[in-house]
Structure 1
Amino acid sequence: MTDWTEPGVFEVAPGVFRIPLPLPNDGLHTVNVYAIDDGDGVVMIDAGWALDEATDLLEVSLGTLGYDFADVRRFLVTHMHRDHYTMAVALRRRFGTHVALGLGEQPSIERVISGRAGGQVRNLRRWGAPDLAERWAALAVPMEVRASADYEAPDEWLTGATPVELSKRVLETVPTPGHTAGHVVFVDRESSLLFAGDHVLPHITPSIGFEPARPALPLGDYLDSLRLVREYPDLRLLPAHGPVTGSVHARVDELLQHHADRLDATVESVAGGTATAHETARRLGWTGRQRRFDELNLFNQVLAVGETAAHLDVLVRDGRLTASTVDGVGHYSATLA
């Protein structure tokens, strides 16, 4: 089987090409962007991270299809994370390319642009991880200053189930909040394709609620969005990370079961004596290899505590746990039978 991270231009459906672009991360090394042939131009699903190496590779890749950056008619971006959005902003500054993004991303975009993206530090304190909050603050403040320069508002905010009419096909924009509040996917019914962004990934589960303006119940939103996508006809999965696969339904079922199991494990941890999101995250296993919390790097520890908090809040909503606040820190306990 071909390694999906290998560079190249891969036709995954008639007129639809997958282009893997590099990332600077230790974990995810590559993001898939998709070029859709649109007559005398091209429409891009997602854009990549605005890195010199990624920019050069995208330019070469489009060239193999007979296009250059000036031929990109628009970027349809699934969500605001840097590996999907910032290349679109950079190329718009050079070529005036139209950029569209889900409306639910507006609060987070505004916070990043204004330099008010420090919500993770406050959340970590609320989740019972003050030491982690201090370590993250030392890293995040300079990182957020750099990030603000890479962001601008899009030309178009996508709302609801917005149809996007191209010259050769119609894409349906479907809001799928969860990974971020404004995440969207694009459905091509005629070709039976789902441009899934990070909503449905074939090998990993996307992070939940890691964004400047975190909603109240990001995991609840994500599970609802999975069920929404499951109601569509079974489509071919075109993910942002991982290989193209044949069945969206099969992977959605796996993701729903994963989170059901994770919710059960979280209840067991609280019943066993953990009170805060941080304490609970330390007891749970992480990644497919069930790594211990202390084996994770700082970034992934922050993700782990945030995702644990998201599971705890869903359990409170569902009546399986109760919540209280002690000295500004959320505490959870098992519901008495």
Structure 2
Amino acid sequence: MDRISLGNEEFEGRNNAYVLADDDADTLALVDTGLATDPVRRDLRNGLAERGYDVADVDDIVLTHFHADHAGLAGEIQAESDATVYVHEADAPLVAQQPAAVAAVEDRRRDRLEEWGVPEDARAELLAFLEAAEIEGRPVDPTPIADGDVLTVGGRTLETIHTPGHAAGLCCFELDGGDEAFVGDAVLPVYTPNVGGADLRVDHPLEKYTAALTRLADRDYERVWPGHRDPISEPTDRALAILEHHRERTETILEFLAANGPADAWTVSAHLFGDLDGIHIVHGPGETFAHLDHLRHEGCLAYENGDYRLRDGAIDLEAVVPSVRTHRRGSDGR
């Protein structure tokens, strides 16, 4: 297994495409492909060439999720190589660029931005950013997969672990039934993956994401290979640190509402993140919404006319977002 580092100036730092090759069986697979931009296209083609391969040699592509910085070049590679492209069934319609699926995402985005109280000028800036990016690439003819499916690609076996939250179809892939996994954007080494704004299709995104983090922590891998930047050598600690981050963010939001009274997601987002531009115009209030929505469904907040307010009574934060201290490490949740 080998890693090709790909340029990415739009999102969370350099992407990774992972190369799985079985020279005896003459099979070649990629895990993720990067953005459909010329610099990334050159990075990927040059990286394959340095290893003695060409895009036409690719037999299989495994996508961790539909986001363009992971799936953008999949359609182009498939057209050139006739590769099979595996992606979770929830994300398959989006990588296929089915008009109804794309329109549903756009409708949900419009509704959410209005619901969150995002100003018109910020909405216009976001739309301009999305239209100018041109990073989606060609449509894919996907082969849908589901939790528990085992793929044999590039001479390796990958067990599919569905970990929604950041995206509805985000999957991790355990490598050869061992102590390593590809984790896409479920766990990142530097940033905390966006939850709530990165995929507006996900209902109760924080609940789903914390469950995904717990599932990965329970597997207690020795090393994982993320969608961005370098490998993570202590992934359980990193997963639990992200869980603690969300607990602390929940506390910050509760303190803000206690001090300032009812507020919409955009107002709370400004307190958390300050001024936002580009993709962060949806990521900031989206992550704020994920926390507010979770607190609402846990009975801590009331919601009326776009504003969230504290309900009367004490809040058991440990029950709302369990802390690292209460997580049972090494329980082998396989």
TMscore range, shorter length: 0.7 to 0.9
Q: Give, as a single letter, the amino acid of the residue that structure 2 aligns with 1:316.
A: R
Partner of 2:39: 53
Partner of 1:290: none
Change (3 A) 1:313 1:151: farther
Q: Give, as a single letter, the amino acid of the residue that structure 2 aligns with 1:334.
A: L
Asked whether 1:38 is paired with 2:22, we answer yes
CA shift, 1:65, in A, is 1.7
Which of 244, 247, 257 is residue 257 of structure 1 equivalent to?
244
Residue correspondence of structure 1 range 189-228 to structure 2 within 5 A: 189-211=176-198, 213-228=200-215
Which of 28, 38, 43 is residue 12 of structure 2 equivalent to?
28
| Separation in structure 2 between the aligned mates of residue 97 and residue 232 of structure 1, nearest angstrom | 31
Provide Cα deviations, 1:50-100, integer angstroms capped at 9, x if missing partner: 222222221221122222112211110001111110111111122211111
Q: Give, as a single letter, the amino acid of the residue that structure 2 aligns with 1:96.
A: D
CA shift, 1:193, in A, is 1.2
Q: Give aligned-pair identity as a percent.
A: 28
| Separation in structure 2 between the aligned mates of residue 218 and residue 17 of structure 1, nearest angstrom | 32
| Separation in structure 1 between the aligned mates of residue 230 and residue 244 of structure 2, nearest angstrom | 21
Task: Note if contact 2:59-2:82 (Cα within 8 Å) is conserved in structure 1.
Answer: no
| Separation in structure 2 between the aligned mates of residue 109 and residue 41 of structure 1, nearest angstrom | 23
Task: Note if contact 1:124-1:132 (Cα within 8 Å) is conserved in structure 2.
Answer: no
Which of 302, 305, 316 is residue 296 of structure 2 equivalent to?
316
| Separation in structure 1 between the aligned mates of residue 158 and residue 4 of structure 2, nearest angstrom | 19
| Separation in structure 1 between the aligned mates of residue 214 and residue 117 of structure 2, nearest angstrom | 32
CA shift, 1:302, in A, is 2.3
Task: Note if contact 1:201-1:241 (Cα within 8 Å) is conserved in structure 2.
Answer: yes
Provide Cα deviations, 1:136-165, integer angstroms capped at 9, x if missing partner: 465167359x566x2524421111211112
Change (3 A) 1:141 1:261: closer
| Separation in structure 1 between the aligned mates of residue 154 and residue 249 of structure 2, nearest angstrom | 44
CA shift, 1:299, in A, is 2.4
Which of 87, 92, 100 is residue 101 of structure 1 equivalent to?
87
Partner of 1:5: none
Partner of 2:331: none
Task: Note if contact 1:41-1:73 (Cα within 8 Å) is conserved in structure 2.
Answer: yes
Asked whether 1:163 is paired with 2:150, we answer yes
Structure 1 unaligned runs (5+)?
Answer: 1-15, 287-292
Which of 230, 252, 263 is residue 275 of structure 1 equivalent to?
263
Change (3 A) 1:136 1:220: farther
Highest RCO, 1 vs 2 (Cα 8 Å, sep ≥ 6): 2
Provide Cα deviations, 1:223-265, integer angstroms capped at 9, x if missing partner: 1111111121323021111211212101011010000111111
Q: SS of 1:221's equivalent?
A: helix
Change (3 A) 1:67 1:214: same
Structure 2 unaligned runs (5+)?
Answer: 314-334
Partner of 1:331: 307
CA shift, 1:169, in A, is 2.7
TM-score by length of 1: 0.84
Provide Cα deviations, 1:262-296, integer angstroms capped at 9, x if missing partner: 11111111222241101111122x3xxxxxx12x3
Q: Give, as a single letter, the amino acid of the residue that structure 1 aligns with 2:59.
A: R
Residue correspondence of structure 1 range 69-148 to structure 2 within 5 A: 69-106=55-92, 108-109=94-95, 113-114=99-100, 115-116=102-103, 117-118=105-106, 119-132=108-121, 134-136=123-125, 138-139=127-128, 142-143=131-132, 146=134
Partner of 1:297: 277
Aligned residues: 307
CA shift, 1:202, in A, is 0.9
| Separation in structure 2 between the aligned mates of residue 238 and residue 138 of structure 1, nearest angstrom | 32
TM-score by length of 2: 0.84
Asked whether 1:18 is paired with 2:3, we answer yes
| Separation in structure 1 between the aligned mates of residue 93 and residue 65 of structure 2, nearest angstrom | 13
Change (3 A) 1:257 1:52: same
Task: Note if contact 1:125-1:133 (Cα within 8 Å) is conserved in structure 2.
Answer: no
Change (3 A) 1:70 1:141: closer
CA shift, 1:112, in A, is 6.4
Q: Give, as a single letter, the amino acid of the residue that structure 2 aligns with 1:28.
A: E
| Separation in structure 1 between the aligned mates of residue 262 and residue 93 of structure 2, nearest angstrom | 33
CA shift, 1:20, in A, is 0.5
Q: Which moved more, 1:314-323 or 1:304-313?
A: 314-323
